[in-house]
Structure 1
């Protein structure tokens, strides 16, 4: 077997489609086949991302794509990290293709001066995750354990009345606002401050993620990219009586595939905890999604096993576990 690795030009749709097809086939066995639709990838992947430098590689056996990888470098912070993923066609596994791609990712990280690689492995609850065995053999360690969870948006809202009552009782002193993608001028400074402390406030296990410095200018650049790739981020904030942003949650929906929403960040400032603000902002965000995207029938989220508070929120909202997710970390010598 002679496998050749080729860097993908995302603006070349035929070449990009080869890369996309490998990932699509490799992810088809997962619940709900979560691989992004081609209509999404052909728009998002070529678009400039102010937060990441992205390299895509396809492994070819002759003229046929058999493997693929993604190499992503944060450009604003965490400049010791490289985020990596790889996929191999199911019928071509155990042939050394994944090892070839993994070594290529290591080399790219070293050449970029990155000391730590972060990857993920996913599998059904109660099963051995094949990707874990491979990753450990490549020098990765399990840094954190999480669960992927799904919410049926066609049925769950009918169960939220008790949560609404708790929010009304405990969060009456706070104003809840929602918006679509574009940060309101009167909220953007407070949101930037809150997001800048996110990593230090969530359980990360041994994952070497460090707080980011979010500024209004950085949020505006991020917002502009979302508009370009036709992705809405529905956000909900809780604002105290003195105007402070006390809690934030967002949930993301592609206009090109609106059936599924993905929960992003949920954070409550430490000094404002105990007022059911996590419930307040998540409920408001989910309801805004239902109002703006009537075709959205499912929401997904992911939380560390040790994130007791957020796991309880998600469970009471109706989220159910679908997969185990392992955060894998490798430190280069």
Structure 2
């Protein structure tokens, strides 16, 4: 490795993307997409600048900061850190972005050290980060502490290992071709609804969430941070209310995105006990992304996961017929959800490793 002198400065976040100081933030979004393309050939895994900016401007629920590394005045890499704002939160989520052409020159180490120092200065003691991996076998395969799944070693995973991070979990990134026959979806939905019975009914909407459903939706969104399989990744229990639902949806729509939500209501209590979200960028011909999917722990075993997934995919085909692909991530140990995905036609296209370090 050849060490070079670099400069690291805070990422400039503009008020709008039309401002004179927006070039650096636009470069950040482009670099993030480039990294996804270099790592696994899927640039659409990363949002555009238009989609990212609202999240960066509203620090109510999550504060985001970034740093830019330069060589001879040219951007050579970046790092971002997200800080959850719940009381007692100890995590810092780091995203290291160094393209292949600048790797091995000391830039990645400098940026990671800078991010870790920022986290410690803010009182955070749990550092988390993610790596992307192609679905292939390599001479050296990495197995997470969960024991589920494995990914090929990369230069980035080697950096985190050397820096003291542990691979806690592997997630599978799967895609579904939306242009295929929808009868398997319809049949799976019919069978699942028959199992669930009259105690459960489907509720669906396109953002914004109807006012009368916001409290219930907030409650099930909060459970994603506690009920979803996460290995030993230490996530703070998120605090949600109707106001946070509104804030989140404003950020999504300000970024030009469209979201469809299908939830299941437990009729005897009126609680929303399962949900699935599908989102697409302003360019409606692009890749659709699944955001959250969850069945509350005390309502599992009634095929509610199949109901929300299939019902939303069928709804989506009518809402956005121009999108050809849906992309989703699921923990490798989450066999119930992976079984659903595989049964309706999702196939693996990449993997993500979840890493953690305590300081």
Alignment TM-score, normalising by the size of structure 1: 0.92
Give 2:232's aligned residue.
206
Aligned mate of 1:6, from 4, 9, 33: 9
1:255-313, Cα deviation, whole Å (9 max, x unpaired): 24651111122222233322211111111222222222222111111111111111111
8 Å contact 1:44–1:229 — kept in the other structure?
Answer: yes
Deviation at 1:320, TM superposition (A): 0.9
8 Å contact 2:76–2:98 — kept in the other structure?
Answer: yes
Answering whether residue 153 of structure 2 is matched by residue 129 of structure 1, we say yes
Measure, in 1, the Cα distance between the counterparts of 2:272 and 2:30: 42
Deviation at 1:42, TM superposition (A): 6.8
Give 1:110's aligned residue.
120
Aligned mate of 1:272, from 263, 287, 299: 299
Give 1:31's aligned residue.
41
**1:247 and 1:38, CA in 2 relative to 1: closer, same or farther beyond 3 A?**
closer
The gaps in structure 1 that reach 5 residues or longer are: none
3-state SS in 1 of match to 2:113: helix
1:164-199, Cα deviation, whole Å (9 max, x unpaired): 231232134122121112122232222222222223
Measure, in 2, the Cα distance between the counterparts of 1:15 and 1:202: 35
**1:61 and 1:45, CA in 2 relative to 1: closer, same or farther beyond 3 A?**
farther
The gaps in structure 2 that reach 5 residues or longer are: 15-20, 139-151
Aligned mate of 1:241, from 252, 261, 267: 267
8 Å contact 2:10–2:68 — kept in the other structure?
Answer: yes
Task: Tell me which stretches of 4 or more aligned residues in structure 1 moved more than 6 Å.
Answer: none
Answering whether residue 183 of structure 2 is matched by residue 182 of structure 1, we say no
8 Å contact 1:249–1:266 — kept in the other structure?
Answer: yes
8 Å contact 1:88–1:98 — kept in the other structure?
Answer: yes
Aligned mate of 2:98, from 68, 78, 88: 88
Answering whether residue 68 of structure 2 is matched by residue 58 of structure 1, we say yes
The alignment of Structure 1 onto Structure 2 pairs a total of residues equal to 332
Aligned mate of 1:197, from 198, 217, 223: 223
Aligned mate of 2:58, from 48, 69, 80: 48
Aligned mate of 1:313, from 340, 345, 356: 340
With 84-93 and 269-278 compared, the bigger mean Cα shift is at 269-278
Measure, in 1, the Cα distance between the counterparts of 2:248 and 2:30: 28
3-state SS in 1 of match to 2:253: helix
**1:218 and 1:203, CA in 2 relative to 1: closer, same or farther beyond 3 A?**
same
8 Å contact 1:77–1:212 — kept in the other structure?
Answer: no
Measure, in 1, the Cα distance between the counterparts of 2:196 and 2:286: 31
Measure, in 2, the Cα distance between the counterparts of 1:53 and 1:144: 25
